Structure 1
Amino acid sequence: MLFRLLVLPLLLTLLAFPATSETRAKDRVALVLGMAGYRNIQTLRNTVNDARALAETLDGIGFQVDVLMDATREETLAALDKFAFKAETADIALVYYAGHGVSVQGTTFLIPVDAKVQQAKDIVSASVTMDQLLAAVDGARKMSIVILDSCRNNPFPDVIDLRDPEVAKGLTTGKGGLAVPSPDRGTLVAFAARDGAVALDGTGRNSPFNIALRENIVRPELEISLLFRKVRDDVLAATANQQEPTTYGALPSEPFYLASNATGSAEPGLEELASAWQRVVATERDMLEKSAAAGDSRSLVGLALAKLDRQSTDYAPEEALALLEKAVAAGDPDAKYRLAKVLEGGLGADPDPVRARALYEEAAMAKIPAALNDMGYFHFTGELGLDKDRDKALAMFREAAAKGHTEAMFNVASFAANGLVPDLGPKDAADLLYRALRGGSDLALDALLTNAEKFPKETWASLQKILADKGLYDGAVDGSFGPGTRSAVLAAYGIFETEN
C-alpha cells in the first residue's frame, strides 16, 4: 500500500520507560442539550424529555454522553468549549439540541433558558449560534453531527416582527423555522423539520422526530445516511406528512454506523472501503439502490466500491467502474478521487496512470483534502509522470493541511522543522504536529515516537509548550524527548498512560 507520508513510520520499539498500561479516549462522544424551563419566554413541554431519552439511547449504544439541561448561555458555551476538546480525539462527535430556536438574517440562533430579548439586536448576545455548535464537533476525526430538534415556533413574536421587511430580510420562514446551513465535508446537520417549517411537539411525552430518531439510531445495520432517510420516512408517516426532517452536509465516502463499535482506518484504502460498503449492501441493498437511482452520488460510489470487494459474490469490477464513471460524469469530486485510486492501483482494472493523474488533479481542484495531499506526494516523488518539484509539493501539502488532512499537516511540519519553509518556524511546526496528533494520524504518532531525533530541539520545546498549555504535560520545556514528553504525545493523540 502506498502511503502519502514523507517520513515513513518504523515499527514502534520498546523504549526504556517504566512499564505502563494504556486507556484510549472514547471513539464516539455526544453532548445533549435540552431547554424547557425558559424564564422570560414560553416554556416548552417535551424538549427536556426528548433530550433525556436520547442521552439514554446514545449511552446504550456506546457513546460517552455529556448532558446539560435548562442551561444558561454561559453554561452552554462552557459545555461546548469543554466538549470541543474531547471531540478532537473521537471518531464521531454529536451535539443534539432540543429547545427554542429562530433564524434572523440567515443565522440560526439557539435560545438558552436565561435569554432576555427586548429588541431584535439582543438575540445575538442572548443566544448560542448553530455555528458555535458546529465548531464544537468540527474537530472529530471522521464524522461531525449536529441535530437540531428546535424548529418549533418564533419565541419572540412581540420583539422580532417577521412581517417587518427589515427584520425578516434573510429569514427562511414567517413561522420561526431555522436557516439552511452549509456544513463542511464530513459534517452532517439534521433538522427535525425542513428549513422554514415548524417541528411538532407531539401529543405524548416525546416529539415524533425524537421517537423516530431513537428507534432507528439503535439499529446497528443502518448506515448513517440511510438512518436519517428512515427517520424522515417515519416522521412523515407519524405526522400525516405535516413534518419532514431534512439533513445537510457532504458525507465522506466511508460508511458510518452510530450503533456499531466497528471503526476503520484513519485513511481507509480501497479494499477496506470495498469491504465496508459490501456490509451496507448486504443489509440495505434496496434502500441504497433507491437512493442511488434518485441521484445520490455517495450511494452510487458506495455501490461501486461494494462491487470491488473480492471476498463478495457481488464482485464485479467492470460494473464498479461503470458506476464510478457515472458518478464522475455527474461531477462528484469524491468519485473522481476514488476512480483515480482504482486506476492508479489497478484494482479490478488495468492500471491507467495517465487517467488516474487527470482525475487526481480534478479532485484536487475541487479541494478534496486527500487528493491535495496525494498530488503533493506525486510532485515530491516525481510519480505519475510528474517532474519532482518540492515547491509545488509543499504548496499542495499546505492546502491539504489547511483543510484538516492530518498526514499533510505532518508533511508540512517535517518541512518547517527542518527550515525548508521560509515563513514557518519551530512554533508553526509544533502546532502542525499537535494538530496531526489530535486529528488521529497513526503515521505521525509512530514517526514522532520512533524518530524523535529527526525533529530539532526547538520544535520539541515548542510542542512541549503547546502540550503544557493544553494540560497534557507538566515537565520542563527543554526540547528533550523523555518519558514525560512521550506520555504527553500519546495523550494528545488520545492514549493515556498510567504506571503499573
Structure 2
Amino acid sequence: MTSYITSFGQSLRKFRLVSSVSLAFVSAFSGGATAQNSDAETRMAFVVGNASYGSDMLPNARNDAESMSATLQTLGFDVTLVLDATQEDFTRELQEFSKSAAQRDAGAVLVYYAGHGVQLGGKNYLIPVDANIQDVDTLVSESLHFDQLLEQVGSSSAFKMVFLDACQNNPFQDRIDHFKAGLAPPPDVSGFLIGFATQPGKVAYDGAGNNSPYASALLSHLRAPGQEVLSVLAKVNKHVRKDTGGAQVPYVQFSVKPEFFFKPGPEAEQDLEGRLWQLSARQEDPELIGLYLRRYPEGRFAEEARSIIGKGNSSPGTARSENPENVSSLEDAIWTNALDSRNKSLLEYYIERFPNGPNVDQAKQLVSQMASDNPDNMTSAELCRKFATHPNDSTVAFQGVSLNRLADNATAAINACQVAIQTFPEDAHYKALLARAYAAVGNTDSAIDFYKQAATAGNTRALVSLGLLYELGQGVPKDLSAAREHFEQAYQNGSADGAINLAVSLYTGTGGPRDVQRAITLLEYASSEGAARATFNLGVFAKEGIYKSPEQAVEYFELAAQQGYAEAALAAAAIYDEGFHTEKSPRKASELLLSALTADRGETLAKITAEALSWSRDTIIEVQSSMKTAGYYEGALDGLPGPLFNRGLELWRLYGGSVSGKSAG
C-alpha cells in the first residue's frame, strides 16, 4: 500500500508545535509515605484566601481560594475555607484542621494558600490580613511561618500536599528592603509534596481575570481523570508557561512517592473538545452544539456543528423525553463535562436543563465563581487573550485563534491588548499578543516593534515569532543566523516550539553549523513536553534509521497519535497494516485509523475515503466490524470499501466509537 510516512525534511519543516513547559520537579524521595487512593479514603483540604490587605488588595486571592474550595469538593475533599485570615484565625483554624485530619485518619490532606508571602533569610512567611509589618521583628511576630504550617500538618500520616500561590512582589518594600523576590524552597520537605506557583526567588502573577495563572491551571487540571498527581502538575506547569509566555514556571518539591490521583479511574478516551462534541452531536440539541461552537469556534468539528445548526433538523430539548436511566446518564455526562472543562455556559445549561438535579446547588456556586465567557463581560486583559492567543498556546480557558480569525476581531484585540499593557506593564505577554494582533492586519512595523519588546523580556511566543520573521525575511532582513539565535533563546526559556524550530535549523544547517545529534536531542525534549509533531518526527527518524531503530518507529507514531496528531495515527496504522519491522496487526491498524478520524478537521476522513483501496483487506474488515458494532455500518464484512463504508466513517467521526443509536442509513 501507499505509505503515509513523509520524508523527514518535509515533516520537520512542516510541523511546528508548542507545548511550553520546563518541568521543575525536585525529588527527595527516599521511600516515605505513599498515596494509594481508595474510594473510602477521607480527603481533607485547608484553603486560605487572603485578599483584604487594607489598601493593598489582592482580589484574585479570594476568588482563587473560593474556586479551589468548590473544585476540591467535587473531588470528594472535606474543605475548610478561610478567607481574609487574621493571624489568630490562621493559627486557630490550622490547628483545628490538623487535629481533625489526624483524628479522622485522613488518607489525603491538601493545603492551598493564596495571598501575600515573602522570604527572609531563606525562610518563608505567609502574611495574615491584619499584620502590621514595619520591620523584620514584626514580620516574624505577626506572620505565619511556613515551617510552622508544615509542622502542624505534618502530624498527619496522610499523603500531604501544599500549594502556595503566594509569590507576590514585596508588599513592604517602602518599609523593609531585606526581602528577596518570591519564596524560598524549604530545606526539609519530608513527607510532603509542595507546589510553588513559580520557581524560587521568582515572582508570580496575580492574574488578569478571576484567577491567578497558577490557580487557573490547577483548577483546569485537577479533575483530569486517571492522572497521577505529578502528571497533573506537569500539565499545570505547561498551562502556566503558555499563559505567561514562559515568564512563570511552577516548581515542585516532594519526598513522598506521588501515587495520588485527584480523580481515580481510567483516563479519558477523548480530549475535552472531543468529549463536548460527542455529547453535543449525540443529543442533536442546537443549544448544546452552539455551546460547543462558543468554546471551540475553530474546533475540529466546527464545520459539522454549523452544518447541523444550519439544517435546523432539531430543536432545543431534543432527546429530553428519554427514559429516566438515559436522562440520569445524560445529566451526569453534562455535569462531568462542565466541571472538567470549567465551562460556565455548560454549567448554566445544566442548571436550566436539570433544575431539580442533585448537583444544582453546587453548579450555581461554581457559576458564580467562574469568569464569563461572554466578551461583553470580560476585562480588557481577558479579551486580549481571547482574541489573540496563539493556537499553540491554547489552554482550557483560552483556546487560541488563527491569524484569519484574529484579523476578523483585530480592532477589538488591539484595543484590548493596549489597555492590558497599560494595566499590567510587567507582563510582557500582552505585548506579544498585541504584536500578533498587528501582524494579523498587516501592520508589520508595529508587530515587530512589540515582538521585540516582548522578546527582550524573554517572552517565548515573541522569540519564536521573531525567529520565523527573520527566517522568512518578513518585515526584517532575512537573517537565518538571527532566526536560530531567537529559537535558541526561546528553547532556553522552556519553549518546545523554539526547540522544534531550532532542530530544523540544526538539522538542515541553516543559520549555522549542522548538528544532527543536537537536533535529535531538541526533538526528544519537545516530545517529552507533549509536542506531537516532534514525536512524529522522531518516528520518521527511527523509520529512516537515523534515530534508534526502524523497529521503534511505530512506538513514536503511536505516542504522537496519543498526543493528538492524526497523521501519526495513519503512519502507525500503515506500519501495522504492512508489517513494517513489526508483526502485522489489522486490528491495531483499524483502531488507529478510526481514532484518527476525530483528531483533525476532516482531513483524515477525506484521505481514508479517497485511498481506502490502498489498505489491506483484513484491515478494512476490522474497520467494518468496529463500525457495525457501533451501529454505523450495515454492509457485509467483505473488506471492500464503498458508499456504506464511507458513510460509516462519517458517522464514526460525528459520534465517536460508542454505540449511539444513530442510523447508519
- Higher CA-based Rg: 2
TM-score, normalised to structure 1, is 0.48
Given the two structures, how large is their TM-score scaled by the length of structure 2?
A: 0.38
